[in-house]
Amino acid sequence: MRESSRDTPQYEMGKAETERLRRVETTFLARPRVSIRLRIVAGFLLCFFLLAVTGLINLVILFQARSKLHFLDVSQTLSLEIQRASHTARLDFPDAKNLATAAASAKDAFDLFMKEGAQIMGATGEKNLALLNYQMGHYVQLLDDGLALAKTGPATESQRKALQEQIDASASGLLNLLRTMKAREAAAADRVLSLSQKLPFVFSALMLVIIFWITSLLAGTITDSLKRLEESTRRIAAGDFSLMNPKRRYHDEFSDLSVAVNRMLSELRAREAQVVKADRLASVGLVTSGFAQQFSTTLDAITSHVDSFLDQCPEAKACEECGLLQALSAETDRGKEAVATLLEFTLDHDFVLSEVSLHEVVESARHLLQDQMDEAHVSFSNGIPPDMPRIRGAANQLRHVFVNLFHNAIQAMPHGGDLSVRAALLEGQRASVTVSDTGTGIPPEDLAHLFDPSFTTKDTEGGTGLGLSISYGLIKRHGGEIRAESLLGSGTTISLTLPLATNDK
């Protein structure tokens, strides 16, 4: 049996169209996937990253502002301590007690400087920190020198004056340095605070622009895809089943939807082709039934005339003309029987289940195809016993099934072969029927799709591709099962399972 089908539609130039569908799907799916969900998540991540950067920058700015404000506080304390030390050192210079008090104030200022050195460096920089460290250390050293001079005894006027000038100059330089640094850092603190007020508005505006851009991009993508789908549905409604082609360099959920729509379009075209073919077959059936009825009338007339001639023949005389008339009468009766069977097969009877003899159904199907079997040198064997329990079914529909199976078997044996039908009773009030041939068999890749509609391994003039699919549907309507087994080069066996009539009693 050669008839077979696939899961992809085949119609008109079906193979080329199916290949085109596969190419379009491959083009869709081979492009990098950028899903809508991924783009939405990426947009949210971008906004979150922008918020994180904004928060981090604000934290850095606020830390700098806090550091500078702290430096201003520390520098104010240092200036007061240096001023106190300088004022105390001038009293009765070089008085040891006053110099000791001044040195203690200077050392307190130096200790505070060392304690806050890290934050001062963060506010003013390493260079200014080193300069301040040097001048404070030098000032403390000068006070220690003055205290040592006061403890050793009276000094000359030149020594006293020189040392006092050095201490005053160091204190004045140190105070000027602190004043300059405070002024510079106060201005920097104002700028940082002003920036910290403006920056959130700038980042908020930038984030709004990015959100608007992302939203517009996603909305445009979705809208364009929906418009394409809308246009496709309009084309489908107008009867245009052409495939959708990819437009973007990536594929997303809409691309998957387009692939599904393309498959639907191919299926619609396949179903459309099936309807056209079924309509043609129905038209052929109507023409055939009309021709058969007219031909049956002609045969009736021939039979009537032959019977009249036979009635005129002497009963005792067996002439050659009477023998020919008797042979003509027999052949006419045979033709009327074939026409009656053809009419029963082509007329659209209701699907009514009743008790049916499988033996008779198989014999009537064989009778319809006997000439084809003889021409193809196919030997037929009906192994169903006439007294086998009847099944519950529709005789005309079952005849249709066996005609399809026998026809396919004959075409699978172009050089002749054996076609056999066997039956057996199964448990559960069911019967099994097998139709076997010794033909060329069916390829394994086709066997799984044997009962799918529209596909056939025959050429465009060899079949419609609907026979086995229709047979499958008819057996299912009978509450039965149908399956196929085949070995390439060794033939095919179709197995039917049908309920017995007693199953419904």
Cα–Cα distances in angstroms (integers) from residue 162 to residues 100, 152, 166, 335, in the given order:
19, 17, 6, 152
Give residue limits of the domains in the chain.
1-14+349-505, 38-219
Cα–Cα distances in angstroms (integers) from residue 249 to residues 26, 33, 220, 258, 281, in the given order:
13, 9, 16, 14, 46
Q: What pTM did the predictor assign?
A: 0.42
User: What pLDDT band is residue 310 in, cutting at 50, 70 and 90?
Assistant: confident
Between CA 421 and CA 61 the distance in angstroms is: 94
Decide if pLDDT at 421 tops 80. yes
- Whether 1-14+349-505 and 38-219 share one fold: the answer is no
The number of beta carbons lying within 10 Å of the beta carbon of residue 96 is: 14
Cα 433 to its chain centre, rounded Å, is 43
Burial group, residue 247, by CB count within 10 angstroms (0-12, 13-18, 19+): exposed
User: Tell me, what DSSP letter sits at residue 502?
Assistant: G
Decide if pLDDT at 358 tops 90. yes
Strands (E), 258-377: 354-356
Could you tell me the two tokens for 139? 């000032």
What is the model's pLDDT at position 438? 93
Strands (E), 74-148: none
Under a CB-based contact definition with an 8 Å cutoff, are residues 269 and 9 in contact?
yes
Decide if pLDDT at 315 tops 70. no
Does the domain made of 38-219 have the CATH classification 1.20.58?
A: no
> What mean pLDDT is predicted for residues 136-144?
82
Share of residues in the chain with pLDDT > 90 (%): 15
| CATH dotted code for 1-14+349-505 | 3.30.565.10
What is the model's pLDDT at position 192? 80
What is the model's pLDDT at position 232? 76
